[in-house]
Amino acid sequence: MLHITELRHGEVQALHLCESCAQDYLNPSQAAKSASTADSGAAGDASELEELDQKVCPNCGISFKEFRAQGRLGCPHDYVVFADELMKLLENIHGETTHVGKVPKRSPQASQLQFQLIKLRNELRSSVEEERYEDAARIRDSIRELEESRSRSDTPAATSESE
């Protein structure tokens, strides 16, 4: 099974093909045929795509066209430069566009906490969906604890004068 992600006229298409269908699909004459079908009456889309293809990352110099041809980005900054197009692509590949996993320990504590909460809420959702209620209760307690510690750190400490 091959998973092909096509970017055409700014639209993302996912194709899931067996090996032999994929061979047919990737065959140039076949590709030309499908492209010409798709291009008919889509001149506006084509010029939009052309414009996007010209876009270049000022940091590494890769153009969007080069990325489309190679399937590899040039540097971390490309995720900012080509953000709009990549979001569509990421949604298509992963079905999601927000990270909920591990976070480098060197990132600021506030965002560490934020990530922890996003991750726990996701886990809570899937534990309820999977009817793992004991896990859900445990996760709910952890969320409450984290939220309390966050509100404590947001509140200035009471001074002895006010007491």
Partner 1 sequence: MDLESLTRTSGEWLKATGPDSDIVMSSRIRLARNLAQFSFPSRADEVARREIEELLRSQIAKKPAGRELTYISVSALSQIDRQMLVERQLISREHSENQGQRGVGISDEENVSIMVNEEDHLRIQVLRSGFALEDCWKEIDAIDDAIEADRTYAFSDRLGYLTSCPTNCGTGIRVSVLLHLPALVHTKEIQKVFQALQKINLAVRGLYGEGSQAMGDFYQISNQVTLGKSEEYLIRTIQDVVPNIVAYERRTRQALVSESRRELHDQVSRAFGILKTARTISSEETMDLLSSVRLGINLGLIEGLEIPTINELFIHTQPAHLQKIRHEKLETVDRNVARADYIRQRLNEQN
Q: Give the interface with partner 1 as residue ranges (CB under 8 A).
A: 1, 3, 16, 59-62, 70-76, 79, 86, 89-90, 93-107, 111, 115, 119, 122-123, 126
| Rg of the chain on CA atoms, in Å | 24
Assign 105 to helix, strand or coil. coil
State in angstroms the smallest separation of the CB of 126 from partner 1: 7
Complex with partner 1: residue 49 or 62, whichever CB lies closer:
62
State in angstroms the smallest separation of the CB of 147 from partner 1: 19
Terminal C-alpha separation, the chain: 69
Burial class (CB in 10 A: 0-12, 13-18, 19+), 113: middle
State in angstroms the smallest separation of the CB of 33 from partner 1: 26
Q: How far apart are CA 56 and CA 77, in angstroms?
A: 11
Q: Which residues lie across from 2 on neighbouring strands?
A: 17
Complex with partner 1: residue 14 or 137, whichever CB lies closer:
14
Complex with partner 1: residue 102 or 152, whichever CB lies closer:
102
State in angstroms the smallest separation of the CB of 128 from partner 1: 14
